Amino acid sequence: MLISCNKLKSHIKNSEDIDWLNIWDTFTLRTAEVENVEVKGNSFDNVVVAEIKECIPHPDSDHMHVLKVDCGEKELIEVVCGAPNVRVGLKTAYVKVGGHIDGSEIKARPLRGILSNGMCCSGRELGISDNHDGILDLPSDWVNGTDIKEYLPIEDIIVEIDNKSLTNRPDLWGHYGIAREICAITNHELLPLDILEITNDLEDLDIVIKDENLCYRYTGLKIENIKNNNTPLDMQIFLYYVGMRSISLLVDLTNYLMMELGQPMHAFDARVVKNIEVGLANEGDTYTTLDGITRTLTSDMLMIKNENKYFGIAGVMGGLDSEILPDTTSVFLESACFNAASIRRCAAKLGLRTEASARYEKSLDPNMTDLAIKRLAYLLKEQNPDMLIASNLTDIYPKVLKEEQIILDKKTLSTYMGKTLEDKEVNNILETLGFKVKVDKYYYDITVPTFRATKDIKIKEDIIEEIARIYGLENFTPKPLKLDLTITEHETIYNQEYDAKKLLATKFDMHEVHSYIWYDTDMLKTLNIQKDNVKLLGKETNNILRDDLSLSLMNIVNVNFKNYSHFKIFEIGTIIKDNQNKRVLSIILTDTEKNLEAIYNEAKKVVKYLFKVLKNKEVTFTNNVNEYNYYNDTLGKIINVDNNKIGTLNVLNKSYTNKLSKKKAIVTIDIDFDKYINIEKEEKLSKEISKYPEVELDYTIILDNKKYADLEEVLKSFPSKLIKNYRLIEVYENKYLIRYTLGSNNKTLEQKELQTFQERFIAHIKANNLKIEE
Amino acid sequence: MEELLSKLKKDLETKLESAKKEADILNIKSEYVGKKSEISSILASLKDMSIEYKKKYGSLINNTKKEMENMINEKLENLGNDVEITFDDTLDYDIKTGSLHPVTIIAHEITDILKRMGFTVVSGPEMESEYYNFEALNVPKDHPARDMQDTYFLDNGMLLRTQTSDNQIHAMENFGAPLRICAPGRVFRNEDLDANHENTFYQIEGMVIDEGITIENLLYVMQNLLKEVFKKKVKVRLRPGFFPFTEPSYEMDMSCLICGGKGCPTCKNSGWIEMVGSGMVHPNVLKAGGIDPEKYTGFAFGFGLTRLAMMRYKINDIRVLNSGDIRYLKEFNIE
């Protein structure tokens, strides 16, 4: 929102004491964020009031004129001008030779052969309006040669305040509220507004509110005999500086009041208003708004109706048939207050967010509507001394919003502030902000003004915020929390996730990735996989939440296949399964097809290593019956810890891998991290080391059409007290090298014992129909 | 005699210096300290000398022989150190490193600082109920944040959490007061993607509840957290803000790291960057968490880990973070 400092000054007593350029840093710290401060009126100089004394068409141009102007000097000066509105007697703005416009110097120069000594200016050229239809038309009583800045409020400071930081402050959506805030910050006095009191000895207007919960108040007034509909230049400049377009006095005044008080208003041509009714629209009706667009209405949109026909969308925008026309002399003024949520929904549905709706959706103070009308009438009368009030100030206000009391005990205030403030200070802060305060020994009895009560101030903590911010946050001393050695509750999820991630990245050179919680629709299409899971509402693509983290990572696999032939990635992320959040660790290893065996074995090692190092647990792999058909049934394994399933290891079926990239292999690991978290780390106990030497014996066993798992069954079923452990050392074709470590804790093994072991072992292997190299 | 002994030592030293092979040294050994060596014969002849002579030279000769033996043994021991180098010792190798996601690195750093201040790290669900995401946090039914435009609602009646503040309620329910938690996590907003906007990003939430917690405590934790993160290079300022779940509410800005506070496009020419939303916990939120607001006060804060990571690592396109593109991610060595 744009704020004019000239306007603020007009509301503050002794405003010249305030440093208007530098107050805004403080304003940011006390009230709301200031985004920009711009000094206006610096871009030109030597622009004076000048009167056209002679005006003849340029002999060599079809639209230019050669003027002689009186700019307060002895001689008339000859100027060439292309504007259509030149005429003898017109007073306008003239830049002298040597003066500047928009930073560049104006020189005497020939225009189509005739020397132009300076330049007559339009509003746009001076940067005080967007009007470039002609040169400025100044009042006839202004003195020729006077610097235009002496007549017009061209020099100003325009401040841009971040709208977002005003969301919670309906009272700050107009200059008057900002002025009040400045008063509180600088300890100044806010001046009351000049208004026109309405005597109410005429007829009431016919106004009906159908829904009191959506329209809190509707105030109307009819005024006739408005002959002058020209907006004074100073008001035009103000409106232009704060981002509004000047249209006509009546329209400009409604905008002026919106900028001044924050109260949106509407001026209808009184000739067409018979009776006003505020009520809901019929579903599916259409209505054409002021901007010429026909819009479809829904049954929750609040409408202004006249003679049972739509007349405007309440709080959003008026319609074409009620517009102020050039010949309008009587006006019906609307100043109303609507339900904020209803206006917000309506504007959002229509995609039509206007200055009015933006204010209404902040929850405006309903007690402001009559003040705004009286203020507008006052300003209108300044331009139209003969205007006639043609109706009572008709005020439909079913449920009057009253001021509320809040008790703030001093103890709570001190607790929050960390210090105790003097009553005088608290009192002063609150009163300049518009609160009324009764000071008691133990508490403050505070009356909240209604302009703060609609949304912002409800409880004592809200009052504390007011005191703390005006007191100044920079005046607080940061204090550490008191020493407290109570042991806190401990949740290890975060640490365990980090430890696992770090292990994978450091030990196995893997890259951590983050992906989305939903499946990529294109990826599912590419793979021709249908998924049915919880869905996002109102979205057509990327709307199915993932129930398989590894599958959802195929998108990322695809991205990286463009640059790498093999890589390893992982993510710890959330999937949604059976309507529940589940944390999963997925690891993906990829390589060319011929290296499937290598990455498959590496995947197993990664899992073994992870559980050995982080949980001190041994994992086992058992055959899997696959839940999803895109994984290979034979190669898929269940990962078990303590005989419980903790995850799966899978290979993406070739037909799917091929859709991503040809001749590639993709191995996936999914660990149920919720279960993982709950596995207690097996305690490591010190092991006694035998004093006697151990002996290693190697056996090469030949497996025909059998796997290591079969061999292991055989090895497990061989009992011997001498066995410390056995390991698979190497596999070459179908030859499996097994190394036994034998030993005893009480003695050195004798040759005879080893001999017996050897014979028994070989016999055992043979008995199980396996071959062994002797 | 002294001269003779020192000459012998000198000769040995010279010989040893030029000897390279073990055999040569062994030869020198037998020549200088062996049974037939000069010093051995001198020692042998000692027994025929007078007592005075023995007294005068006995220990000197013995010591010299020991010294000479030591010299030889030392040379023998060190022989292995002077192996001829048969490989290229100047080779360089490309090492393979994995990487952690930048957000993981930042989250780890922040939680580390908070742990030092006594915070416990907790985590909460990404699919969340309306109650925990909005209602319990004092976000009323018609609040704009509840609009479809901002929130991903799900067809099972749940939603994807829009903020990590849901952890406030979970933590109060799980632990009660007093409380000191932080919760990094992923949040979701229904936004169109561009270089500055993501629909999926990370925040961290913090909450402290105890008797007598003040605005000053909030200030201390916020200021020191940012100082630790940015190694004191930043200025911070606190200004009024608005969040439904805190009252009073504050926005904490940090001086822009790109322009140093002079004003640039990143900070929209203000010199400041909005970093942290914070405030004193709203009494309604305390009540929703089962904590008596008349007895306890507290503060809470939240800020964007994703944004912090972008600033720290000068990542100028937010989309990189969820792309999984190893070409970008591999740069982030494990910290």
> Residues B322, B323, B329, B330: what is their CA dihedral angle, to the nearest 10 degrees?
140
Q: Is residue B185 part of a domain?
A: yes
Q: CB neighbours (10 Å) of residue A350?
A: 21
Assess whether pLDDT exceeds 90 at residue A150.
yes
Domain check: are B47 and B133 in the same one?
no
Contact A536 B152 (CB under 8 A): yes
Please answer whether residues B119 and B157 qualify as being in contact, where contact means their C-beta atoms are separated by less than 8 angstroms. Answer: no
* Burial of residue A743 (number of CB atoms within 10 Å: 0-12, 13-18, 19+): middle
B208 and B146 inside one domain: yes
Tell me, yes or no, whether B95 lies in a domain.
no
Q: Which residue of A26, A465, A518 is the best one to mutate when testing the B interface, meaning the one whose CB has the most B CBs within 10 A? A: A465
Residue A488 binned pLDDT confidence (cut-offs 50, 70, 90): low
Q: Which residue in the set B97, B155, B175 is minimally distant from A489, CB to CB?
A: B175
Structure tokens of A142? 């202004």
The model's pLDDT over A683-703, given as tens digits with 9 standing for 90+, comes to 888 887 888 999 999 999 999
Closest CA to A475 of A408, A419, A430: A419
Which residues of B are less than 8 Å from A516 in CB distance? 200, 322
Same domain? For B73 and B107 the reply is: no
- Say if A490 is an interface residue toward chain B (CB within 8 Å): yes
Which CATH number fits the domain that encloses residue B295? 3.30.930.10
Domains assigned to chain A: 2-41+157-190 (3.30.56), 45-154 (2.40.50.140), 207-396 (3.50.40.10), 404-471 (3.30.56.10), 493-678 (3.30.930.10), 695-773 (3.30.70.380)
The pLDDT tens digits for A721-741 are: 899 999 999 999 899 999 999
Quick check: A50 and A71 in contact, CB under 8 A? yes
DSSP H helices, A513-648, are: 521-527, 549-552, 554-561, 596-615
The average confidence (pLDDT) of chain B is 88
Burial class (CB in 10 A: 0-12, 13-18, 19+), B86: exposed
Task: State how far the Cα of A289 lies from the Cα of A303, in Å rounded to an integer.
Answer: 12
For chains A and B, count residue pairs whose Cβ atoms are closer than 8 Å: 220
Residues B27 and B146 in one domain: no
- Mean pLDDT across chain A, nearest whole number? 93
- Encode pLDDT of A15-41 as tens digits: 999 999 999 999 999 999 998 999 998
The average pLDDT across A243-264 equals 95
A382-391, A489-498, A607-616: range with lowest mean pLDDT: A489-498
Domain end marker among B82, B112, B133: B82
B91 part of a folded domain:
no
Determine the distance in angstroms separating the CA of B90 from the nearest CA of chain A, rounded to an integer: 25
Last residue of a domain, one of B82, B110, B142: B82
| Residue B90 within a domain | no
Q: How many domains are contained in chain B?
A: 2
* Residue at B96 is within a domain: no
**Could you tell me if B159 and B208 lie in one domain?**
yes
Mean local confidence (pLDDT), A336-352: 93
Cα gap A633→A650, rounded to integer Å: 8
pLDDT at B148: 64
Q: What is the mean pLDDT of each run of 10 residues along chain B (335 residues)?
A: 84 84 85 85 82 83 88 83 78 88 95 91 95 93 74 95 95 92 95 90 96 91 86 79 91 82 78 90 96 96 92 87 93 68
pLDDT at B332: 80
CB distance from B277 to chain A under 8 Å? no
In this prediction, residue A135 carries a pLDDT of 94
Any B CB within 8 A of A530 CB: no
From residue A327, give the alpha-carbon distance in Å to each of A64, A193, A692: 32, 30, 117
Task: Say yes or no: ipTM exceeds 0.90.
Answer: no
CB B276, CB B252: distance < 8 Å: yes
Of A33, A469, A488, the CB nearest to B180: A488
Q: Report the pLDDT value the prediction gives residue A632, as an integer from 0 to 100.
A: 92
Cis peptide preceding A366, ω within 30 of 0: no
Tens of pLDDT, residue by residue over A115-134, are: 999 999 999 999 998 888 99
Say if residue B269 is in the same domain as residue B323. yes
pLDDT score recorded for residue A145: 94
How much is the pLDDT for A487?
66
Contact A489 B297 (CB under 8 A): no
Task: Find the domain containing B48 and state its range.
Answer: 2-82
Asked if the bond preceding B248 is cis, omega within 30° of 0, the reply is: yes
Residue B189 located in a structural domain: yes
Q: Are the C-beta atoms of A261 and A368 separated by less than 8 Å?
A: yes
Burial of A638 (0-12, 13-18, 19+ CB in 10 A): middle
Question: Out of A168, A416, A559, whose CB is closest to B324?
Answer: A559
Residues B60 and B108 in one domain: no
CB of A479 within 8 Å of a chain B CB? The answer is: yes
Instruction: Answer whether A536 sits within 8 Å of B224, measured CB to CB.
Output: no
Say whether both B154 and B38 belong to one domain.
Answer: no
Q: Is A167 touching B (CB cutoff 8 A)? A: yes
B119 in the same domain as B45: no
pLDDT digits over A295-326, tens only?
A: 999 999 999 999 989 999 999 998 888 888 88
Contact between A479 and B214 using a beta-carbon 8 Å cutoff: yes
B326 to A538: CB separation less than 8 angstroms, yes or no: no
- Interface test with chain B among A490, A504, A514, by most B beta carbons within 10 Å: A514
Q: For residue B117, what are the contacts with CB-CB under 8 A and spacing of at least 6?
A: A481, B180, B221, B224, B225
**Statement: residue A156 has pLDDT above 70:** yes
pLDDT score for A399:
94
Predicted pLDDT at A356: 95
Task: Check if the beta carbon of residue B68 is closer than 8 Å to that of residue B60.
Answer: no
Same domain, B71 and B161: no
Q: Do A417 and B118 touch (CB under 8 A)?
A: no
pLDDT of B334: 56
Does residue A489 carry a pLDDT above 70? no
The predicted pLDDT at position A467 comes to 96
Q: Of the residues B33, B53, B82, which one is the last residue of a structural domain?
A: B82
- Is A504 in Cβ contact with B127 (below 8 Å)? no
Judge whether B249 and B279 are in contact, CB under 8 Å: yes
Looking at residue A485, its pLDDT comes to 67
Q: Do B174 and A489 touch (CB under 8 A)?
A: yes
Q: In degrees to the nearest 10, what's the CA dihedral of A504, A650, A555, B159?
A: -90
Largest CA distance in chain A: 137
Mutate one of A416, A419, A485, A562 to test the B interface: name it (highest B CB count within 10 A): A416
Cα end-to-end span (Å), chain A: 92
B87 occurs within a structural domain: no
Six token digits for residue A55? 């005006």
The answer to the question of residue B260 being in a domain is yes
Same domain, B164 and B285: yes
Residues B288 and B204 in one domain: yes
Nearest to A506 among B160, B248, B334 (CB): B334
Read off the pLDDT of residues A549-590 as tens digits, 9 standing for 90 and up. Answer: 999 999 999 999 999 999 999 999 999 999 999 999 999 999
- Rama region for B139: left / alpha / beta (φ>0; ψ in -120 to 50; rest): beta
Chain B, residues 278-307, CB within 8 A of chain A, namely: 280, 282-283, 297
Residue A33 is nearest to which of B215, B239, B282, comparing CB atoms?
A: B239
**CB within 8 Å of chain A, chain B residues 100-139:** 100-101, 103-104, 108, 111, 117-123, 125-127
Would an 8 Å CB–CB cutoff place A32 in contact with chain B? yes
Closest partner residue to B326 (CB to CB) among A489, A514, A564 is A564
pTM for this prediction: 0.83
